[in-house]
Amino acid sequence: MDILLSSIVAGLLLGMVLAIVALGLTIIFGVMDIVNFAHGEFLMIGMYTGLLTAQATGIDPLLTLPVAAAVGFVLGIICYTGFIRFLLRGPMIAQLLGTFGLMLLLRNLALLIFGSEDRALHHGILVGKSFDIGMGIIIPATKLAAAGLSIAAFGGVWLLMNRTRIGQALTATSLNAQGARYMGIPTQRMNALAWGIGGGTVTIAGALIVNFWSVNPFIGLLFTMIAFAIVALGGFGSVPGAFFAGLVVGIITEIPGFWDFLTYTFNWEWMADVPMTSLKYMWVYLAYFLIMVLRPRGLFGWKQ
């Protein structure tokens, strides 16, 4: 029972953080129908930003979020105006391979600058502390804080998208870009803004994740695929969808925990032999495939 509960709690906490990883992807996809393969690389840059800022200035890692957000925002806008703008004229395959090129570029620049070794945070108020809330559930303080801040960031983006003029302009662009242009909305600038917000949110996620996850230049792809799965489940372009789907995918990544629970509860020996921990992320990919085939619109999606 303990294993089951703690797996669910761990899954939900991770899910909240994963949701904000996927948020940027769903905004970018919603506004301009482009799939960004470099999304995980943005996250990796956010992780390095958080880590290096915290190490250089000695402040707590959680306080580096604004720096990471600023870096991500600027990076997103640079990527859009310097590169993605030109991709949008081409066919779909050029867009796919173009953002893949961006991913390779960012990843290998990071490799060139930071080297290939794993780096992790060792200081900070919350690092290494945890709450024991009984029933065998232990919550690491960093994960709790990360989940809380992720909800706050989600709320901020939701307010921005639904309660401000800029957000309405963004929504209009994603619903019908040509119509929005006729209404006097500068769609080019809206696209750039979407990339800025997308980059900013995902680097925030990176600065949160680096509190409990070590970083290396190759970490991006895993998160890109997780973000794709979340966005597919929640519906491409849907902000609330991304949140709930993030929770679901968080639970999916805890399947090894449920497996252990079943193994111990029913004492089936063959189950213990399955190397479930190594297959942790396979379930996410499989979930993506099944969602796309069975329900391409996702749970909350409106874009087909």
Which of 98, 198, 200, 220 touches another protein (CB under 8 A)?
Answer: 98
- Give the closest residue to 178 by CA, choosing from 295, 33, 287: 33
CB within 8 Å of 18: residues ≥ 6 apart = 226, 227, 230, 246, 249, 250, 253
d(CA 162, CA 176): 17
Site for another protein in 221-260 (CB under 8 A): 221, 225, 228-229, 232
Least Å from the CB of residue 229 to another protein: 8
Handedness of CA 252, 258, 260, 263 (dihedral sign): negative
Which of 70, 152, 286, 295 touches another protein (CB under 8 A)?
Answer: 286
Site for another protein in 114-143 (CB under 8 A): 116
d(CA 47, CA 210): 5
Which of 244, 259, 261, 288 touches another protein (CB under 8 A)?
Answer: 288
Q: Is 86 in the site for another protein (CB under 8 A)?
A: yes
- Give the closest residue to 87 by CA, choosing from 169, 23, 30, 32: 32
Q: Is 299 in the site for another protein (CB under 8 A)?
A: no
Q: Is 112 in the site for another protein (CB under 8 A)?
A: yes
Nearer to another protein, 107 or 143 (CB): 107
The tally of CA atoms less than 13 A away on the side-chain side of residue 17 is 25
Nearer to another protein, 56 or 93 (CB): 93
Q: Tokens 């991770």 map to which residue?
A: 14
**Residue ranges in contact with another protein by CB under 8 A:** 33, 35, 83, 86-87, 90-98, 100-105, 107-109, 111-112, 116, 217, 221, 225, 228-229, 232, 275, 278-279, 281-282, 285-286, 288-289, 292-293, 296
